[in-house]
Structure 1
């Protein structure tokens, strides 16, 4: 689940996606662990239906830049066309420009958006011989990965 989305105001954006265990659902409440959390249906939907992207903290980007960093390689040397589509090079250039500009009123980018290899989804567990297990096994629109 993309926990970098639907982050409550004032809380820090997590550094990655996370596996979440949903152990209960109530009226407008979804109860999860890893970490222990209660979200609403809209937040969970947004996190599950996310594009496969990762947010990198501004300070993590800037501390890794050196004088010999070739920014064009951020887009040109990537086999995944999403690096160009997301204009990763342009995002980094914007961060550098913001650092060089002393204007305190300037809105600074907090994160760099890069392509990721994550896929959100849901895993259901049920006893194979239970009514629920049989219903899941025979649901035509659920892809199954049974082991």
Structure 2
């Protein structure tokens, strides 16, 4: 089972080829679901949000792997329970990945600013955002790493 914070996370998981992620709404609820779900084979995706309060349960995880701006964290008590932490937060990460791959969001009629991208209502439902994400996922190494980490969940 894959557990996510928001609709844009959910869309990312679907465009990577995974179906039916569980939408929890916030980092604390994602961590709680990953920690307490009856299904021990569970992975959550959270934003690092370095300027925000961090749930204390995050201390129960250790880093197993990392790429440039994503980390794979594993529960100290049950290695099947995992968290992918995106840094600093999803929309900024997406734009960083686009810059790294020389993909211009403006070519898809999207803003180059992460806060402006985050503020687009229902971005995941917009065709231009969907095309942008599909184009990015097909080209980015970190997206490929994320897909590999999620395989089997």
Q: TM-score range by the shorter chain?
A: under 0.3
TM-score normalized by the length of structure 1: 0.24
User: Which structure would you say has the larger Rg?
Assistant: 1
Q: TM-score, normalised by structure 2?
A: 0.24
